[in-house]
Amino acid sequence: MPAYDSLLASITTDAVSARDVFDPATGELIGRAPLLTSAEADAAVDRAADAQAAWAALGHEERSAVLHRAADAVEAQSEALAQILSREQGKPLNGPNARFEVGACVSWLRVTADTPTPTQVVVDDGSDYAELHYRPIGVVGAITPWNWPMMIAIWQIAPALRMGNTVVAKPSEYTLLSGLALIAVLNEALPSGVLIAAPGDGGIGAGLVANAAVGKIMFTGSTATGKKIIEASAGNVTRLTLELGGNDAGIVLPDVDPEAIAEQLFWGAFINTGQTCAALKRLYVHDDVYEAVCDALVEVASSMPMGIGLDEANVLGPLQNAMQFDVVDRLVEAARRSGARVLLGGDPKRDQPGHFYPATLIADIDPTNDLVVEEQFGPVLPIVRYTDLDEAITLANGLDVGLGASVWSADRDRARDVAARIEAGTVWINSHGGVHPMIPFGGVKQSGYGLEFGVDGLKAASVPQVING
């Protein structure tokens, strides 16, 4: 049996308690994903708690070795995982999409395994001596979204396991098969009970948050759901890492070469067909280069093929679900009615299967338009004209979110000066959205709190202990 068929068969079910999973590009039924009851999810937490002490006792060296073996397992099944991901999430195999995502899972596992333990001597002055250690929390609940269902799961799972915790992972109900497939492959290398899948609807996630045996919740998703998690976790004083909604701004200074930056701008906005929390979602361009930047973006965007993910030629796919299609369509139509100029796209073919929305560029749009101030989370970029840099920075900082941002300029020092004035967890210079397993990542304002990746990510997946004396 081919690897894809074998892996898919291992995670699908004919049971009554299951959810039909459809390909968002074709509408075809892929399979049925099992769903847990609340009692079964609680039992999963209990099993993870029972396994935690032995896992922690292995020590960092052995846990790191196990993570490398888990990376080997993902690498060996990489094509099957990418095909499941492409069919369920919709993203194409090629470009910065399905194969890229599975490859990132391997890289993050290996780097997390090899990141030095964050133990620190904080005082050693001859009379006092103190060390700061980071110990396991216990059970970590990992709640992942549907846009990058494998990569973001690894961002949560890998540091939690490395630091001696066990994990109960709830994949999004929109991408159950992707989450289940990844966990099944990881468990080829992990001891029993160390990583347990808890597929289900929002009620399963709420149960994880409320369960007193879960010492930490790691969540990536909407700000609205993040606020509910904060409220629900308060009674247990559960530790939280929250990576919430974003509406990232980019500011283009007048000294740029529009053609030189156009492709980077495009992928900053349209990676994963725009379905990325830290994608470029509103672009402020100086009047001196405004039309040239618009023209260069149209040239790049119009050359990017969109279609079924399993077609090797495509680099843009459908929106993952009808709900998100409706959000994007509503915002574009409101912008069109307001008098904004549609440079490209904005006219989906509604008589064809799949949640396809064409790559869309909107110019001459009011900075207060809903398409600018709401997170569209799709293949649409509003381009706002400005003449005064201070005003552009004020507009960039004017929303209640602050995940990422970018500044585009031929003068790197000037760009850094502008970046320092922007309220965002990460500000990229002449790029947007790139992440690295050793560079801390997190949001400000209502984009959440807590850091992921590198040493800071290990600290976030543990509890500090000072040994004094």
Q: Which residues are catalytic?
A: 243, 277
**Look-up of token digits 């807590």:** 450
- Tell me the one-letter amino acid at 450: G
Task: Render 216-277 in DSSP notation, one character per residue.
Answer: EEEEES-HHHHHHHHHHHGGGT-EEEEE----EEEEE-TT--HHHHHHHHHHHHHGGGG--T
Quote the CA–CA distance of 444 and 441 in Å, as a whole number. Answer: 10
Q: How far apart are CA 185 and CA 163, in angstroms?
A: 20
- Burial class for 335, CB neighbours closer than 10 Å (0-12, 13-18, 19+): buried
Tokens 């070795």 belong to residue: 65
Distance CA 419, CA 411 (A): 12
Report which residue type is found at 454: G
From the list 66, 137, 113, the residue with the least C-alpha distance to 454 is 113
Asked if residue 183 lies in contact with residue 158, where contact means CB atoms within 8 angstroms, the answer is: no
> Phi, psi (5° rounding) for residue 452?
-120, 165
Output the six-digit token pair for 425: 């967890």
CA triple 42-46-50, angle to 5 deg: 170
Neighbours of 235 (CB within 10 A): 10
